[in-house]
Amino acid sequence: MPEICRFFGIVIAINYNDHQPPHFHARYGEYKALIAIPTLTLLRGRLPARALGLTIEWASRHQDELMDNWERARHHEPLIRIEPLE
């Protein structure tokens, strides 16, 4: 699964040719979650509250880039790294 960003121990990735709806994967330690890109809602999994909050904050700043990477992945194109939350 290609990593597109990493910040505060949270790893963000998008799978190639993944299922709908458009989403990204977030990992934090042993926790894993799928977050919908258009709505920034938790689809599946779990993150600690602070990690989930940071992930949603980051994603809200980069929704357009996330959707662009989703489309790239659907077409098996190289993904673009996204700036981390600082």
Residue 22 and residue 69: Cα distance in Å, rounded?
10
According to the model, what pLDDT value does residue 1 have?
Answer: 82
Q: What's CA 13's distance to the chain center, in Å?
A: 5
The answer, as to whether pTM is greater than 0.85, is yes
Residue 25 and residue 36: Cα distance in Å, rounded?
9
pLDDT class of 17 with cuts at 50, 70, 90 = confident
37-63: pLDDT as tens digits: 999 999 999 999 999 999 999 999 999
Angle between helices 63-74 and 49-61 in degrees, nearest 10: 80
Taking a C-beta distance cutoff of 8 angstroms, is the pair 62, 70 a contact? no
Across the chain, mean pLDDT equals: 97
